Amino acid sequence: MEKLIRGLVRFRQVELPKRRAMFEQLGAGQDPDTLLLACADSRVVPHLTSSMEPGELFTVRTVGNLIAPAGADGVALGDVSEAAAVEYALLVLNVKDVVVYGHSKCGAMSAALSGKAMTEAPNLMEWLRVATPTMERVKRAELVDHSLPFVEQLSQVNVLQQLDHLRTYRPVAEREDAGELHLHGWWFDVTTGETHVYDSDRGGFVLLDETEAERILSNAVPAPHLTFTD
Ligand SMILES: [Zn+2]
């Protein structure tokens, strides 16, 4: 906590004077064009690794970058706060892109894989049930990258599974079908600090470098669809 408190004071003394105008402008509102769903893991810092500034990235963070799917009535089959953020991002902020940002060494994926009962953490246990379809998918389906440890394959497949959960929300599905919204599956390697993007044509996650970035931007960003069957 001491580092956090001293960091806030240092930011106020050193960085804030340089960014005063930016913060004054942010007071007028926000206009992000992308919603990013990331894990709560402290090693995942999307604003740092994407060079984004405040106001540019609408971010939702959950344990395991999970989002419960919607039921028939459109209401989340689980915690509704993530779904509320999705609705706000689409219907109020009118974002054009949604990213599920998984990562390596994910504790939630390890916990889901271990299947160990944590009786002292009933909420965590309940939340990890959102990853159950991911577990089932990994067991029966073609995996994304066989060269990776199994838990990392799980975290990559989980990105695709959570994209499918997002598609159960009517505003997401309707806007994607209309070409007004693009969904992306990305995966951050905490050991290298690099981001990999899912490409359905190549059937896996590809390192996002200058070449890949140009390819994505010139192709109007195709939405990732699963290459394996349910
Ligand atoms: Zn995680």
The structural domains of the chain, with segments of one domain joined by +, span 1-30, 31-218
CA of 79 to the centre of ligand 1 (A): 18
CA of 104 to the centre of ligand 1 (A): 7
Ligand 1 centroid, distance to 178 Cα (angstroms): 32
Q: For 185-211, what is the mean pLDDT?
A: 94
> Which of 148, 184, 142, 153 is CA-nearest to residue 34?
184
Torsion angle of alpha carbons 114, 125, 163, 187, nearest 10°?
A: -50
CATH fold of 31-218 reads Beta-carbonic Anhydrase; Chain A (3.40.1050)
Q: How confident is the model at residue 114 (pLDDT cuts 50, 70, 90)?
A: confident
Using the mean position of ligand 1's atoms as its centre, give its distance from the Cα of residue 63 in Å. 6
Side-chain-facing half-sphere of 137: CA atoms under 13 Å: 23
DSSP helix/strand/coil, 197: strand
Neighbours of ion ligand 1 (CB under 5 A): 39, 41, 106, 108
Give me the pLDDT at residue 34, please: 97
Q: How far is the CA of 103 from the centre of ligand 1 (A)?
A: 6
- Other C-beta atoms closer than 10 Å to the C-beta of 95 total 23
**Distance from the CA of 120 to the center of ligand 1, in angstroms?**
20
Residues of the chain above pLDDT 70, percent: 93
Contact between 56 and 26 (Cβ < 8 Å):
no
Spatial distance between the Cα atoms of 144 and 137, rounded to a whole number of angstroms: 11
53 vs 21: CA distance, rounded Å:
13
Identify any residues that bridge with 92 across adjacent strands, giving them in sequence order: none
